[in-house]
Structure 1
Amino acid sequence: MKNKFNRRGFIGIAAMAGAGAAFGGLPQWSFAGLQDGKPAILGGEKAYTAGFASWPVFDTTEEQALISVLKSGKWGRLDGPILAEFEKTYADLNGASHCLGVSSGTAALTTILGALGIGPGDEVVIPVYTFIATYNVVVLNYALPILVDTDIETFQMDVKKAEAAVTAQTKAIMPVHIGGTPADIDALMRLGEKTGIPIIEDACQAHLAEWKGKKVGNFGLAGAFSFQSSKNLNCAEGGAVLTNDAGFARTCYTFHNQGQGGTGTSYGTGLGTRATNLRLTEFQGSLLLAQMTRLQRQVETRTENANYLTELLADIPGIEPAKWYPGTTRSAYHLYMFRYLKEHFHGLSRGKFVDALNAEGIPCDPGYGQMNRDAYVTGLASNSHYLRMYGEKAMKEWLERNQCPQNDTLTGEQSLWFFQTMLLGTRENMEQIAEAIRKIQKYAKQIAKA
């Protein structure tokens, strides 16, 4: 089944499936007769009938924060104090020395690569199982993105294969804490120490996730976070760079501020040889401070519900939640990722399983696809700029290097997601999700023939 999922689709589903009402209430689920009734896709009663509330959760806290900035007349980074307050608060929350607010998660990655001077001839090692932004920031610098296969049980980048992908041209290794669960950080840091190559954490989905009790984004040279509207902490569009390297923090600030290191307006040309404007605004900083007042409580709720759901799903053959590496002490659960093994559902295809679950009123999606096989990515091999820089032979070899058979299996027939907002409900909701899956499993043969 071709994966038709994209970020716009995710935002739409997240908005539909959001578990916080506009002023903070949680939806009530309504299930009836799950064990004995037919699945909705076969004409039975829909498992979920109450309808989903919206995301994000907000109340007068956000309203007052925005009005305060509006009335101040100081709306931008170079004018007001709010963004600096957010940066200090977010750095402290994550145990980091420095935080730089930027205009998106993509901008955070762009800033980091810009500060590193990544450019033509360089290679950046990234996972194949990730949102396209991880790839885009490399290509925008005319560097080569080297796609690494997936550890199928964890959905994370296979570090052993990442090590094999390193060459003399590798200038950064950029793992993604996909779904909000940490990648294999200890193995990645050993790889970084062994090769002398900086580790850049794409933590855009991983707000407050932890490895051995320490927040992600603190292990490599820098970490990138996103505050886009589907994220667990959001201001519609925004991002942040975390780092514990004071010099690198200054370089990142300079890069994101047109090469100018100061906090005021300047008519000079700045430092370095290239930079851009990726500044966050005071409005977004104020929204983030307001959203952070409920972030910890939401994290705890997701964790409790996800852990309970995992216990329940353990009793259903063919449903395998993504495993954690031993050092993980907390997932952000931006996504609840699991594998669907159709042999335990009488051969019912993943596509029909998703249709049946969606028919019950439970949003579920296959998620990311086979990036390395998509025309958007493979077309790079015939891009005129890349052919001029690297040559036709090198670009053909690049295509061959990007074979990812484990990811093909995972994304082709197994991977599924629930969304973070679904984990903000009650324990009963988790029981109802599991019961709905059992109902589909019981009627899998009939659904397959429908």
Structure 2
Amino acid sequence: MSARQPLEFPAWPQYGDEERAGLHRALEQGQWWRMGGSEVESFEREFAEYHGAGYALAVTNGTHALELALEVLGVGPGTEVIVPAFTFISSSQAAQRLGAVAVPVDVDLDTYCIDVAAAAAAVTSKTRAIMPVHMAGQFADMDALGKLSADSGVPLLQDAAHAHGAQWQGKKVGDLGSLASFSFQNGKLMTAGEGGAVLFPDAESHEQAFLRHSCGRPRGDRTYRHRTSGSNFRMNEFSASVLRAQLGRLGGQIDTREQRWPELAKLLAAIPGVVPQGTDDRADRNPHYMAMFRLPGVAEDRRNELVDELIARGLPAFAGFRAIYRCDGFWEKGAPEEAADAIARRCPRSELLSAESIWLHHRTLLGTAEQMHTIAEIVADVVAHA
């Protein structure tokens, strides 16, 4: 296949008779609210089991999943949450909207995940949570983070929005002893357009989250006894029915992406000026939410132009995330006292990734082995003319 021929990657989202049957099942049960239907509770059981967790709670979206989990951990005004500087901004805004201060720390330049030493240096008496983000499906160093959590007494909240089905040394996300949040937004590895979930290792935290996600109202309440503060983060029955079908597809899709990424990464690494995201061998199952690489030395504006050129050549390409402290929204509420340039000086690797990184939609990794060569040819051609 020539690099000049049009590319036809698998469409996303993927769906079929399983999703149709689920929607019909949800419709015909006559109860479309989670308190009367069965789809949300069934999805929660299935999702928790798939990820090795004791409990799961389905919610409206991935940002709400983070916010709810942080609230369960005691995050609020006067507290701090440590987050990687290179991430989607929901990681910080979930804490900031609770009145907490988000403290950005640097990431590893190979895996793009939180730098554990930088996180350790940022812990204070006000720190209530450390939030590793499993970037593009690559686990953060959970061994070192687990030790940091045990030594400091600060709990972890895994932002697993990219990590459905991931494993760390044979353990699934929910089997690592900490809370974990997921997103089911339209581009995610499984989706109902929107949606989210939180995994819990124990019944107590799960029950607290249930109350807070349902306006503080317990199950079966008929007298409006709101036991806690909260909001309405409840998932509807239709979304849950689609997600049950999507969960059934996930394993096979991960298998395909696990085959394709090593092929593509090897091809990308052979292109002068291209460095693919690295892997940690302890992460023995990576769902590859993104095919990520960087162009060392390229300026941000030029990187953005290259993304446009890749799109014009048929690749679903995107610019990497901006470092969160480089976004105006970060400074609106719950920002640290440091100025952006001061944070940048202690986050040099996040600065580089913010300017140099590019990612391809995970549906590219559902393509054929031949298409991996075509992707690399296009990237090589565009970079060579940069």
Q: Which residue of 1 aligns with 2:34?
A: 77
Q: Kindly indicate whether the alpha-carbon contact (under 8 Å) linking 2:93 and 2:330 is maintained by their aligned counterparts in 1.
A: no
SS in structure 2 of the partner of residue 294 of structure 1 = helix
Question: What's the CA shift string for 1:401-434, capped at 9, x where partnerless?
Answer: 633222112212x211011111111101101111
- State the shift of 1:69 in Å: 1.2
1:43-62 aligned within 5 A: 47-52=4-9, 54-62=11-19
Alignment match, 2:295: 340
In 1, distance between residues paired with 2:260 and 2:46? 27
The aligned runs of 1:147-166 (5 Å cut-off) are 147-166=104-123
In the alignment, structure 1 residue 240 sits paired with structure 2 residue 232: no
Larger radius of gyration: 1
- Residue 409 of structure 1 corresponds to which residue in structure 2? 352
Q: Deviations over 1:155-212 (max 9, x none)?
A: 1111110111111100111111111111111111111001001101010111011110
Q: Tell me: CA distance 1:401–1:219, structure 2 relative to 1, closer, same or farther (3 Å).
A: farther
Q: Which residue of 1 aligns with 2:222?
A: 266
1:260–1:266 CA contact under 8 A, matched in 2: no
Give the counterpart letter for 1:224 in structure 2.
S
Question: In 2, distance between residues paired with 1:292 and 1:397?
Answer: 42
Q: Deviations over 1:291-315 (max 9, x none)?
A: 1222111111111111211122232
CA deviation after TM superposition for structure 1 residue 439, in Å? 3.1
Residue 318 of structure 2 is aligned to residue 365 of structure 1: yes
Of 222, 225, 232, the residue aligned with 1:277 is: 232
What is the deviation of 1:148? Answer: 0.8
RMSD: 2.1
Deviations, residues 301-342 of structure 1 (Å, cap 9, x unaligned) = 111111211122232232211112342112111111111135
State the shift of 1:135 in Å: 1.4
- What is the deviation of 1:399? 5.4
Alpha-carbon distance in 1 for matches of 2:64, 2:208: 14
- Per the alignment, residue 434 of structure 1 pairs with 376
- Determine if contact 1:151/1:158 at 8 Å carries over to the other structure: yes
Q: Deviations over 1:23-64 (max 9, x none)?
A: xxxxxxxx32x4xxxxxxxxxxxx241555531111122112
Residues in 1 aligned to 2:76 and 2:339: alpha-carbon distance in whole angstroms? 17
Residue 107 in structure 1 maps to residue 107 in structure 2 = no
1:328 alignment partner in structure 2:
283
- Structure 2: how far apart are the matches of 1:405 and 1:116? 30
1:105 offset after TM fit, Å? 1.0
* Map of 1:6 onto structure 2: none
Matched, 1:396 2:349: no
The offset of 1:222, in angstroms, is: 0.5
**For 1:229-266, what per-residue CA distance to the aligned partner results, in whole angstroms no more than 9, with x for missing partners?**
1111111111111121221111111111221232x343
Unaligned runs of 5+ in 1: 1-30, 35-46, 387-394
- For residues 99 and 227 of structure 2, the distance between their equivalents in structure 1, rounded to whole angstroms, comes to 22
Match of 1:144 among 101, 126, 150: 101
> What is the CA-CA distance between 1:378 and the residue it aligns to?
2.9
1:122-137 alignment to 2 at 5 Å?
A: 122-137=79-94
SS in 2 for 1:124: strand
User: Which residue of structure 2 aligns with residue 185 of structure 1?
Assistant: 142
| Displaced runs of 4 or more, over 4 A | 50-53, 398-401
Partner of 1:199: 156
Matches within 5 A, 1:215-230: 215-230=172-187
Distance 1:309 1:121 in 2: 46
Shift of 1:142: 0.7
Question: What residue identity is the alignment partner of 1:405?
Answer: P
Would you say the 8 A contact 1:218–1:242 is kept in 2?
A: no
Greater displacement, 219-228 / 310-319: 310-319
What SS does the aligned partner of 1:396 have? coil
Post-superposition shift, 1:366?
1.9
Q: Is the 8 A contact 1:173 1:199 kept in 2?
A: yes
User: How many residues get paired?
Assistant: 382
The answer to whether the 8 Å contact 1:87/1:99 transfers is yes
> Following the alignment from structure 1 to structure 2, what is the Cα–Cα distance between the partners of residues 378 and 247?
34
Distance 1:401 1:276, change over 3 A: farther
CA distance change for structure 1 residues 70 and 222 in 2, over 3 Å: closer, same or farther? same
* TM-score after normalising by structure 1: 0.80
Q: Which residue of 2 aligns with 1:315?
A: 270
- Runs of at least 5 residues in structure 2 that lack an aligned partner in the other structure: none
Cα 1:259/1:355, change in 2 over 3 Å: closer
For 2:327 and 2:306, the matched residues in 1 are separated by: 24
Bigger Cα displacement from structure 2, 364-373 vs 350-359? 350-359
Q: Equivalents in 2 of 1:397, 1:185: separation in Å?
A: 28
Superposed displacement of residue 108, structure 1: 1.1
Give aligned-pair identity as a percent. 37
AA aligned opposite 1:65: G
Q: Which moved more, 1:57-66 or 1:402-411?
A: 402-411
Q: Which residue identity does 2:314 align to in structure 1?
A: G
- The whole-number CA distance in structure 2 between the counterparts of 1:397 and 1:435 is 43
Question: What amino acid does structure 2 have at the position aligned with 1:436?
Answer: I
Once residues 200 and 409 of structure 1 are traced to their aligned partners in structure 2, the CA distance between those partners, rounded to angstroms, is 25
